[in-house]
């Protein structure tokens, strides 16, 4: 398949990476963007490391073939398990990952007790353990795996009794630990930030890293020849594709993000 125009390729296991895409569009409005939701293989958080690497490579290869000059791995789980494999396979392509911001959380905590909510695969990864080892110092880190949460978000259950019940269960250990700062260690979780804040309590500070990811991508994009867009150029709509249900993704971006007129395309890779 012939390559399209130079673009930023963004992928996630589903809709969570749209929070990163939203921020990328804000900081780089003139840049073509191509988003793939690998929903047919979601959630990554319950897959083996080998399976996560295989899917990440397949999606990345597709995006690069379609013109991606920079990749954003808008998935904490894929970053934790696959980003080094991607960088080794495509050493000339800048690749930006997404991982829990232990360092800013450590800087933000008042009581020296932070929580991290993430998928089981992220919590179990060596990369996550290394982040804690390098940045936590004397701060206590309470890791909370969140099985089932991504699945509810993927189904569009952003404010349902089932969501609130699951959040109450997941947040109970963090409340008991009296953390004052919690990292949303999955790009899906900002889509339920309101209910999550309610479950944790207003006294808890919630952190995400979408802005930092977008800023890093912007810095790298500007170094590329492909990054020279005329500010007067109209902002192109992003290309949206999914290995799951295209109508479901189209409805999600319309109803949740307010992006009217965008139609997702089905993808088989």
Sorted by where each begins, the domain ranges of the chain are 7-98+210-266, 102-207
Residue whose tokens read 């509810």 = 152
Asked if residue 77 belongs to a known ligand binding site, the reply is yes
Distance CA 214, CA 83 (A): 17
Fold: same for 7-98+210-266 and 102-207: yes
**What pLDDT, on a 0 to 100 scale, did the predictor assign at position 197?**
98
The DSSP result for 4-50, as a single string, is -SSEEEEEESSSTTHHHHHHHHHH-TTS-EEEEE-GGG--GGGS-HH
* Alpha-carbon gap, residue 155 to 140, rounded angstroms: 34
Query: Which of the residues 74, 75, 184, 191 is marked catalytic?
Result: 75
Residues in the chain with pLDDT values less than 70:
1-4, 225-235
Q: Does 13 belong to an annotated binding site?
A: yes
189 is in an annotated binding site: no
Question: Does the annotation flag 208 for ligand binding?
Answer: no
What CATH class has 102-207?
Answer: alpha beta
Binding site annotation covers 211? no
Assess contact for 98 and 128: CB atoms under 8 A. Answer: no
Show Cβ contacts of residue 62 under 8 Å, excluding neighbours closer than 6 positions. 36, 267, 269
What tokens appear for 186 in the block?
């999955």
Please pick, among 186, 200, 253, 267, the residue that the annotation labels catalytic: 186
What pLDDT is attached to residue 99?
86
Architecture category of domain 7-98+210-266 in CATH: 3-Layer(aba) Sandwich (3.40)
> What residues contact residue 94 under an 8 Å CB cut-off, 6+ apart?
69, 70, 71, 220, 221, 223, 224
Active site residue 146: no
pLDDT of residue 209: 86
Backbone phi, psi, residue 162, to 5°? -65, -40
């Amino acid at each position: 398949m012939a390559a399209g125009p130079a673009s930023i390729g963004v992928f996630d296991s589903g809709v969570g990476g749209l929070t990163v895409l939203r921020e990328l569009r804000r900081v780089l409005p003139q840049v073509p963007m191509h988003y793939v939701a690998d929903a047919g293989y979601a959630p990554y958080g319950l897959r083996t490391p080998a399976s996560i690497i295989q899917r990440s490579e397949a999606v990345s290869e597709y995006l690069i073939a379609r013109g991606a000059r920079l990749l954003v791995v808008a998935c904490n789980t894929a970053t934790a398990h696959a980003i080094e494999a991607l960088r080794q396979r495509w050493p000339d392509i800048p690749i930006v990952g997404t991982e829990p911001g232990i360092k800013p959380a450590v800087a933000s905590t008042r009581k020296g007790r932070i929580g991290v909510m993430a998928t089981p695969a992220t919590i179990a990864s060596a990369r996550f353990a290394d982040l804690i080892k390098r940045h936590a110092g004397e701060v206590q880190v309470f890791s909370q795996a969140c099985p089932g949460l991504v699945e509810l978000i993927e189904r569009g259950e952003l404010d349902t009794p089932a969501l609130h019940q699951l959040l109450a269960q997941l947040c109970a250990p963090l409340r008991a630990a009296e953390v004052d700062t919690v990292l949303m260690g999955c790009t899906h979780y900002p889509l339920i930030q309101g209910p999550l804040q309610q479950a944790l309590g207003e006294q808890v500070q919630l952190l995400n890293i979408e802005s930092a990811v977008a800023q890093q991508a912007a810095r790298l994009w500007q170094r590329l020849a492909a990054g020279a867009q005329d500010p007067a150029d109209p902002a192109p709509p992003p290309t949206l594709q999914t290995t799951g249900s295209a109508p479901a993704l189209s409805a999600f971006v319309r109803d949740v993000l307010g992006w009217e007129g965008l139609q997702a395309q089905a993808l088989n890779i």
